[in-house]
Structure formats: C-alpha cells, structure tokens
Amino acid sequence: MEQQAFVIALVGILGIGAQWIAWRTGWPALVLMLAAGFAAGPVFGLLNPQAAFGDMLIPMVSIGVAVILFEGGLSLDFRELRKIGGGVWRLVILGAPLAWFFGSLAGYYVAGLVWPVAILFAGILVVTGPTVVLPLLRQSNIQQRPAALLKWEAIVNDPLGALCAVIAYEYFRYAGEGATMVEVVPPLIFAAIIAGLIGYAAAWLVAWAFPRGLVPEYLKSPVLLVMVVGTFVLCNAIEHEAGLVAVTVMGIALANMDMASMRSIHPFKQNIAVLLVSGIFILLTASLDFEELRQFEWQFGLFLLALLFLVRPATILLSLLFSDVPWNERLFLAWIAPRGIVLVAISGLFALRMTELGYADGTILIGLSFAVVVATIVSHGFSVNLVAKWLKVKGESRPGLLIVGATPWTTALAQQMHELKTPVMLVDANWHRLKPARAAGIPTFHGEILNEATEHKLDLSPFQVLIAATDNEAYNTLVCSEFAPEIGTDSVYQLGEGADDDNPRKLPASLRGRALFSSGFGVTDVHERQLEGWIFRKTKLSEQFDLEDAKQTLPEAASMLLLLHPDGKMRFFTHASAPEPKAGDTIISFSPPGKKQQQENAAPVSEGDKTQNSPA
C-alpha cells in the first residue's frame, strides 16, 4: 500500500515536473519525461511499477490510452476538413497500408525479424498517436494546415494501427490450423465496425441526455469519463483493441454534435489528458528492463534509421502524390512521426502473445519499441522547430496580440504594435468598424470571436496575448473568461478595474481579465482622452536611458501600457504588477499631446544607440 502510494506520488512529481521544466526551458517535454522515467526506473531503481501494481499495470495503461484517444477525438472538428480533407483521407486510406507495407519490409530485411513478427510490429508502427504529436504541436508553433494534418493522422491512425496488429496476430494464430486470410480478416473488420457503432451510440446518448438536464452539471465530467471507460472495456470484450476504435469514434462524434455542455468539459478533459500522458510515459519508461536493452543488436540501429529516413518519407510522399498539399508541407510531414505510449503498450501485449505462439523474436519487441520511441521523440522533438523553420512551415516566431473590438483606441494601439513588427489581429463583428484598420494595413478579422466556427477560419495559435476592448464591459469579461483557459489567465486583458468587496454593482475581478493600465482606465476613459488628442508613444530604453529617464520625457499624466522585449514578449503595467524594464526594451505609453519637440530633445542620444520617443 505505501509502496503504491509512493510510486503514484513520484510518477506525478516526475511527469508534471518534466512538463514544467519543458515550459520554462523550451526543451521537448516528451524527451524530459523519457529521461525522468528512465532515470527513476532502470538507472536508480526508485520506481518499479510492475512490482507496485502487478497485473493492474497493463489495464491501467490501456484505460489511460483510451481516455487520451477520446480527448484527442474531441479536438477533431469536421469543419477543418474543408481545408485539409483531401490530405487527411490520403494519410488514412493510403498512408496506413503503405506504412504497414514498408515497415514490414524494413523489419524483415533490415532488423532481421521473422516475417510474422515483422508484419505485426509494422502494423503497430502505423501508430503515431496524440500522446506524442499533440504535446509536440503544443510546444512548437507550426502553421495551421500541417499541424492539423499531423493531429488528424495521429488520432485517426492510432486505432487503425492497433487493428492492423490484431489482424496480423489473429491470422498467424489461426494459420497453423489452415485458416485463410478471407476467414480471419472480415470478422475482425466487422468487430471494428460494431465497436465504432457502439462508440457513436455512446456519444449520441451523452448528447441526448446532457442538454435535457438528465445529468446535473457537477456530474457531467464524471459521467462522461465513466462512459468512455465503459465503452472501451465493452468493445475490448468483443475484440482485442477494438475499444480504441470505439473511444476515438465517440470523441469525434461528440466534437461534431454542437453540444453546448462540452464547452464546460473542455478544461477537465485537457487537464486529465496532461496528467495521463505524463503518468503513462513515466510508468512505461520506468518499467524498462536492462535485460530487454541488452537484446538490442546493431541491425536494430539500421532499422531505426530506415524507419526515420526511408519508411516514413516514402509513406507520406506516395500517399500525398498529386495532392494539393504543398511540397514544403509534405517534406515536413515526411519527417515528423514520433511514436509514444500506444506503441509501447500494444507491443508489450503482443510480444507475450507472439512468444506463446512460438515466435522467438516476439520477446525483443518491447526493447525495440522503446528504441523506436526514444529515437523518434529525441530526433523529432529536438528538430521540429529547426525543420519547420527551414521548410517555412513555422508560424510567427514573435508572440502575437489579438485585439477584440474595433474602436479608434484599439485601432491606434494595433497600428503601433504592427509598426513594431508584433503579429497583431483586430477582430470585430462589425465590418464598418474595421474600415480604418483595413485602410491602415492592419490585419483584421470580420466575425464573432465567441463563435466556435471562428477558430476554424482564424488561426489563433500565433497570439499569446488577448485584449478585449469593446464598448461593452460585460462582453469584454465574457471574452476574457472564455479564452483564459486556452491563452492563460495572466495573458487576457481588458480595460477598467474589477469591483472590490464594497461595490457589488461592478463585475468582480475574478471573472474579468487583467486590468490594462495601472491607473485603471476604463473604456470611457480612453475614448474621452483620445478625443482630447492623447496618443500612443514608444520609448526605447538603453544603458544610458533607463525607465526613470523615460518617465521624465513623458507628460506627467501619461500612463505606461506595456513593455515590449526585443524578442517580442509583451509585459503589461497593471495595478497588480509592473515589469522590470531592461536596456533594449520598448515602452508603449498612452500619453496626452505635449511639447513633442521638447520631449524628444530631452532624451539623450549617443552615437551607438539613439533613444526613440515618438507618437504613433
């Protein structure tokens, strides 16, 4: 009991700790989790999941994988297929069989596996999986279409890879009894179809019950989680690994049923997915045995190279031949194919079964699958940003600013940030309000930001900061609360200040975004000041010209809005906190019209660095 509690606590610390370090350093989270699990398990012996959980380890991992696949399915909206549909269907219908074929050849001719084991292992290698692809996409800023293609391929091909392994195993299992492919494959495909229908029925039941009030709000997330686990277990009882098909279909179906209740469930499913990915990676890596590593032979290294540089590129380039996907995106997809916990979990299961059938090579599948995971995660995790930049599929490298509400004040702010090379987007549902911004060459989007369809028309990934500044304070609060879980509560801002305990008539600070300006300017305040001629000014700091010098050059009533670092990061001056300016930073302030020439002359100028203090 105490050993199990210790293992659970240590797994949580290592998994979440690795994710936090990855966030702080920019290193690939998957690599750090692999290193943490390997160090805690085989190296130092702190973790022995098999001893702690025994026969419960594999079911725990399987259910965790099922929940992760379901969560991934919830992110697949069919409206995305309008842009990338052709590429997705090619990667599924053509890519999966091609990957199975080329992987089988590499397993037999390069790794030296016997044909049955090579074919079965190649079926498992079809899997890329959301457990590795989604964290990789979250950490790297890839353009919308290649990122969506990788996401769809990972989630849809995950159960297909498991199904390929099941077909191979069942065929070799009954081949000795004289069974033919025709006798083995159709029942398995029929079982997969039945599992998919059960998954769809479970999704329909949820979509029918939740809006009718049959499940209270506080029970919706637990009920959904139990439904996913129950559907997975039921379909696995019909056929091995058919549960993965069911939960994937269930997630995709729910994502496309336009159920309002799912919006409140999104934060829960994202949190549980992060916990499960972290925990399962640590558990499986810590379970690795040095005896399995010693079975690694030199030709397995060649197999890994063939997998990276021959199998994956051939699969992608052939499946996307004559498609409308640009060549630079094809080459990027041809390189990125990390494998993760699904590969290891399924390989561990079938390694034992193939050994029972008398195939000696079955015992090396566990070590070989870990080698594939390590090789793909390390090579793709460390190279994804470099390759994306080289192939020009990298999104904006500088953090972007999303401004909701087109007013004279927001247009002036957007123009100032646009001139400073900050990716900026001005969003408004009124076409005419966007006219001044369009005339100034500022990127705009005409639409309702709260509409779910907007995220499929507008790529939100480049924007790390949001400012809601419409004329309606309540609407601004709604926008901030909606985007806070995705962008971060510390990165959503609005004009005005929240209410204190003595003023019940104002919106509470707990619901609002962070207040812009330490002075607490509201919507009316900035509009009135702009009519009086207030403007945005930018002031660049240097070693000889610091913050105090900048304050002296600005009018006394001026309010500092934000600090822009040379790398594009934005830090705002609020009533709760103030950033620490350094040389090279640029301060954006909202200032009354003053004696401009005197202010500029007051700023010292050196030969090597000229101080910039100019209006928008």
Q: How far is CA 107 from CA 117, 232, 368, 375, 496, in A?
A: 8, 30, 11, 16, 63
Give the domain-ending residue among 368, 390, 412.
Answer: 390
Give, in degrees to the nearest 5, the angle at Cα 237 between 232 and 239: 95
Token digits of residue 25: 């350093």
Q: What is the pLDDT of residue 596?
A: 46
Q: Is residue 395 part of a domain?
A: no
Q: Are 209 and 351 contained in the same domain?
A: yes
- Angle at which helix 341-356 crosses helix 57-73, to 10 degrees, equals 140
Q: Give the structural domain span for 343.
A: 2-390
**How much of the chain exceeds pLDDT 70, in percent?**
90
> What CATH number is attached to the domain comprising 190?
1.20.1530.20
pLDDT for 31-66, tens place per residue? 888 889 889 988 888 888 888 888 888 788 888 888
Q: What is the pLDDT of residue 16?
A: 93
- Split into its structural domains, the chain has a count of 2
Give, in degrees to the nearest 5, the angle at Cα 194 between 191 and 195: 85
> What's at 602, amino acid-wise?
A
Give, in degrees to the nearest 5, the angle at Cα 182 between 177 and 186: 110
Q: What is the pLDDT of residue 426?
A: 95
Q: What is the pLDDT of residue 345?
A: 73
Q: Are 445 and 344 contained in the same domain?
A: no
Q: What is the DSSP string of 210-227?
A: TTTTSS-HHHHHHHHHHH
pLDDT surpassing 70 at residue 598: no
Q: Are 380 and 420 contained in the same domain?
A: no
Q: Are 325 and 409 contained in the same domain?
A: no
The predicted model gives 436-464 an average pLDDT of 85
Q: Are 21 and 49 contained in the same domain?
A: yes
> What CATH number is attached to the domain comprising 599?
3.40.50.720
Give the domain-ending residue among 390, 414, 438.
Answer: 390
Asked if 10 and 59 count as a contact pair (C-beta separation under 8 A), the reply is no
Q: Are 62 and 42 contained in the same domain?
A: yes
> What's at 224, amino acid-wise?
L
Token digits of residue 394: 């990298």
Q: Are 355 and 504 contained in the same domain?
A: no
The half-sphere exposure of 128 on its side-chain side, counting CA atoms within 13 A, is 32
Q: Are 278 and 130 contained in the same domain?
A: yes
Q: Which of these, 505, 512, 508, 458, lies nearest to 482 by C-alpha position?
A: 512
Q: Is residue 211 part of a domain?
A: yes
**How much of the chain exceeds pLDDT 90, in percent?**
32
| Helix-, strand-, coil-residue percentages of the chain, each rounded to 5 | 65, 10, 30
Q: Are 376 and 468 contained in the same domain?
A: no
The predicted model gives 267-280 an average pLDDT of 82
Max CA-CA distance within the chain? 96
How many residues comprise the chain?
A: 616
Q: Is residue 404 part of a domain?
A: yes
Q: Are 372 and 434 contained in the same domain?
A: no
Residue 91's contacts (CB-CB under 8 Å, 6 or more residues apart) are 149, 152, 153, 157, 316, 319, 320, 333
Q: Which residues is 590 bridged to in the sheet?
A: 536, 559
Q: Which phi and psi (to 5°) does residue 288 adopt?
A: -65, 140
CA–CA separation, 498 and 439 (whole Å): 34
Q: Are 375 and 264 contained in the same domain?
A: yes
CA–CA separation, 602 and 552 (whole Å): 9
Q: Are 299 and 441 contained in the same domain?
A: no
Q: Which residues is 444 bridged to in the sheet?
A: 426
Q: What is the DSSP string of 74-99?
A: TT--GGGHHHHHHHHHIIIIIHHHHH
Asked if 537 and 551 count as a contact pair (C-beta separation under 8 A), the reply is no
The half-sphere exposure of 483 on its side-chain side, counting CA atoms within 13 A, is 30
Q: What is the pLDDT of residue 293?
A: 63
Q: What is the pLDDT of residue 505?
A: 66
CA–CA separation, 27 and 132 (whole Å): 14
514-515 and 492-494 as β-strands: parallel, antiparallel, unpaired?
A: parallel
Q: Which of these, 430, 428, 424, 429, lies nearest to 442 by C-alpha position?
A: 424
pLDDT for 383-420, tens place per residue? 998 999 999 998 767 889 999 999 999 999 999 999 99
Asked if 131 and 341 count as a contact pair (C-beta separation under 8 A), the reply is yes
The predicted model gives 560-583 an average pLDDT of 86
Tell the residue number behind the tokens 């009018």, with chain if given: 555
* DSSP structure class, residue 613: E
Tell the residue number behind the tokens 């091995």, with chain if given: 240
